[in-house]
Structure 1
Amino acid sequence: MKMTIIMMFMLSSTLFLMMKHPLSSGFMLLMQTTFSCMINSMNSYSYWFSYILFIIFIGGMMVLFIYIASIASNEKFKFSMKTMMLMTMITIIMMMIDSTIMNNMMNEMMLYIKNTKMSNKEMMSIMKMFNFPMMMLSMLTIIYLLLTLIAVVKITMIEKGPLRMKN
Structure 2
Amino acid sequence: MKMLVLLMSIMSSSLFMTMKHPLSMGFMLVTQTTLSCLMNGMNTYSYWFSYILFITFIGGMMVLFIYMSSIASNEKFKFSMKLMTMMMLLLMLMMLIINIDSNMIIKSINSETLSFMNSKNNNKEISSIMKMFNLPSMIISMMMIMYLLFTMISTVKITNIKEGPLRMKN
The TM-score normalised by the length of structure 2 is: 0.64
Q: Deviations over 1:87-129 (max 9, x none)?
A: 1111111211222247647969xx5xx48x7652374264413
What is the correspondence of 1:85-164 to structure 2 with a 5 Å cutoff? Answer: 85-101=85-101, 104=104, 114=116, 119=121, 120-121=123-124, 123-124=126-127, 126-129=129-132
Aligned match of 2:49: 49
SS of corresponding position for 2:17: helix
Superposition deviation, residue 39 in structure 1: 2.1
Choose 60-69 or 96-105, whichever is displaced more: 96-105
* CA separation of 1:46 and 1:84: change in aligned 2, threshold 3 A: same
Contact 2:23 2:65 in 1 (8 A): yes
- In 1, the alpha carbon distance for the partners of 2:103 and 2:6 equals 13
Matched-pair contact (CA < 8 Å) for 1:6–1:39: yes
Whole-Å separation in 2 of the counterparts to 1:20 and 1:105: 39
1:37-90 deviations in whole A, cap 9, x for unaligned? 122222323221011000010011011101101111100000001110111111
Contact kept in structure 2, 1:22 and 1:68, CA below 8 Å: yes
**Contact 2:45 / 2:128 at 8 angstroms: preserved in 1?**
no
Distance 1:122 1:36 in 2: 20
- CA 1:103–1:8: 2 relative to 1, 3 Å: farther
Structure 1: unaligned runs, 5 residues or longer: 143-167
Q: Aligned residues: percent identity?
A: 59
2:4 and 2:30 map into 1 onto residues whose CA distance is: 17
RMSD: 3.1
Query: Greater shift after overlay, 117-126 or 30-39?
Result: 117-126
- Look up the equivalent residue of 1:99 and give its one-letter code: N
TM-score by length of 1: 0.65
Do the aligned partners of 1:5 and 1:39 also contact (CA within 8 Å) in 2? yes
Q: Distance in 2 between matches of 1:79 and 1:54?
A: 28
Q: Is the 8 A contact 2:45 2:125 kept in 1?
A: no
